[in-house]
Amino acid sequence: MRIEILVFDGVDEMDVMGPFEVWSHASRRPEFELALVGLDGPASVTGLHGLEFKAPEGLGTPDALFVPGGGWMNRAERGSWAQRAVLAPRIAEVAPHTQWIGSVCTGSMLLAEAGLVKGRPATTNRGAWHELETFGADVKHNRVVDDGDLVTAGGITAGIDLALHIVEREISAEVADGIAATMEYARVRDVYRS
């Protein structure tokens, strides 16, 4: 399974780095592959809090696409809100060809803009719950919401729980628990499943 994490200027660093840490451990197994990707090719990214990092590849045709947030609720000049007009159509284009698409925090709002949450259980940062409802989502207040091919997580650190949940779902609970132990992370198993 190839997971691509879509990154962009103004992305929240923890939205990216928490799941990246989890899936980096999982990618030591042959069934997992992980890549940070820019929208239109390799990208140098400056995160919401100033961290600079690189996405060595561009968005391809992954088995799974993970979309972080950042800059949505405050309508920042950089981030998911500012780039929704270019990010959402590409997400909508890629989504039908994935086994699952996921998000953390206000990355869910990009999925909403892409038309992927209407009539489906989903979550986002608690500050955007109401706005997510306006897109027709059945908003759940869990840290992770698993609706099969749509998996969303609440605010910021909930991305770690989503990533561990995906490892458990795709490989095993033992592997997910082992990664959590390696990271010295106490798992929060607040998962809504359809």
Q: What is the pTM of this model?
A: 0.98
| 103: nearest Cα among 163, 55, 184 | 163
Q: What does the pLDDT profile of the chain (194 residues) look like in tens digits? A: 999 999 999 999 999 999 999 999 999 999 899 999 999 999 999 999 999 999 999 999 999 999 999 999 999 999 999 999 999 999 999 999 999 999 999 999 999 999 999 999 999 999 999 999 999 999 999 999 999 999 999 999 999 999 999 999 999 999 999 999 999 999 999 999 99
DSSP run (H or E) holding 58: strand 57-58
The answer to whether the CB of 65 falls within 8 A of the CB of 101 is: yes
Q: Collapsing DSSP states into helix, strand and coil, what is residue 116?
A: coil
CATH code, domain carrying 131: 3.40.50.880
Residue 138 and residue 5: Cα distance in Å, rounded?
25
The answer to whether the CB of 64 falls within 8 A of the CB of 3 is: yes
> What confidence score (pLDDT) does residue 89 get?
98
Task: Verify whether residue 105 is a known catalytic residue.
Answer: yes
CA distances from 175 to 23, 63, 95, 154, 190 (A): 11, 20, 27, 23, 18
| 147: nearest Cα among 116, 179, 115 | 116
Task: Domain count for the chain, please give it.
Answer: 1
Residue 127 and residue 69: Cα distance in Å, rounded?
13
> What confidence score (pLDDT) does residue 112 get?
98
Output phi, psi for 167, to 5 deg.
Answer: -60, -45
Q: Which residues pair with 52 in a beta bridge?
A: 46
Catalytic residue among 3, 11, 105, 132: 105
Domain residues for the domain of 182 are 2-193
